[in-house]
A and B are shown apart, each in its own frame.
Chain A
């Protein structure tokens, strides 16, 4: 049962990583690319980490794997805000469908 759950979580995580990469390639400006990276990739990483923590030998090893996730979440939230704020300060206009 845990094996199957872990496998499914790995596949879901790989899908979200793929979605993040496609967003990075296809989205039109800095803000939307930041949006794709900061959310999809971190969700994918969370799924992968949870899948591996289910397979860990001991509780401490599982917790050590899982503790990476809050660190990455906090880091990407901070970086996302900092880069978007800086881009806005430098005067980069957000992309609009009918031209800027």
Chain B
């Protein structure tokens, strides 16, 4: 079990790095904003895995904060920040 926790965390980190490519090329601002959603879920997973592997229970609190930040950031983006019409779909 404990041998599997850190490799899975590393795998999730690799997923995040690959998804940065999608964030860089996405045609609309929403495609880049999806990266924040991805960091919210995947980062939460990584932090909880690290909390288990390193016996640092404070990292679970950090994971909760990351999930909350992704929520507020996504809503603020959709409601306030995404206004421009020139960089639309290809």
A joins B in a complex = yes
Residues of A within 8 A of B (CB): 3, 6-7, 10-11, 13-14, 17-18, 20-21, 24-25, 29-30, 33-34, 37-38, 41-42, 44-45, 48-49, 52, 55-56, 61, 64-65, 68, 71-72, 74-76, 78-79, 82-83, 85-87, 90-93
Q: How many residue pairs between the two chains, A and B, have CB atoms under 8 Å in the bound complex? A: 142
Residues of B within 8 A of A (CB): 1, 4-5, 8, 11-12, 15, 18-19, 21-22, 26, 28, 30-31, 33-34, 37-38, 40-42, 44-45, 48-49, 52, 57, 60, 63-64, 67-68, 70-71, 74-75, 77-79, 82, 85, 88-89
Known pairs A21-B18, A76-B37; A14 contacts B12 (CB<8 A): yes
25 pairs, A vs B, C-beta closer than 8 Å:
A7-B1, A10-B8, A14-B12, A17-B42, A20-B41, A21-B15, A25-B19, A33-B26, A34-B34, A37-B34, A48-B49, A52-B5, A55-B52, A65-B60, A68-B48, A71-B64, A71-B71, A75-B68, A76-B41, A83-B30, A83-B74, A83-B77, A87-B30, A90-B85, A91-B85
